Amino acid sequence: MDPFRFSVKFSQELWASGGILARRTLEEAWAWCSAEQFPPESPSHKMETVKIAEKTAKKAQAFSVLGIDVDWQNRCEHCTSPLDVVAFRYKCCGLYHACVKCHEILAEHEIVIWDKTDYETLGVLCGICRTEFTIGEYLAGDDRCPNCKTAFNREIKSSEVPMLFA
């Protein structure tokens, strides 16, 4: 199994565990890797695997996405398309939600719209590679993650974006 596939599998397992894996030590992470038949080919391979595991755990722990029945790629019960993998940070609470409907249901406050002066703020999260990028990058982009090039749902820009960004 190559490191990228391991990273994706580790992310899935981390999500399914509710973040428990993020609290494990690196030694436990390596034991988990070994248990998943990811044999080390060399000492440097082992170190690289542990680095990937640590980086993935930190990203997953840092970017919790709130919503109803959210999967590990940011999809919720309202947004189920394969392209619905982008989550937005809300200015009002500073938290990521899977969609506007999830925020309306779960948050006990009204949505505050991001001003144009806030467009350099990190506020968009790719559900595939867990890369966080600025609101300005998202709005100016071509509906793809600037890191992994995963396509995002174009309909989000016409339906949800006007409710979030000025």
Per-10-residue mean pLDDT of the chain, 166 residues long, equals 44 49 45 49 55 54 80 90 92 92 91 93 92 92 91 79 80
Do 107 and 159 lie in a common domain? Answer: yes
Range of the domain at 85: 66-164
pLDDT of residue 6: 45
Among 42, 62, 82, where does a domain finish?
62
pLDDT of residue 23: 40
- 13 vs 16: CA distance, rounded Å: 5
- 96 vs 82: CA distance, rounded Å: 19
- 13 vs 107: CA distance, rounded Å: 27
Do 16 and 85 lie in a common domain? Answer: no
- 130 vs 58: CA distance, rounded Å: 10
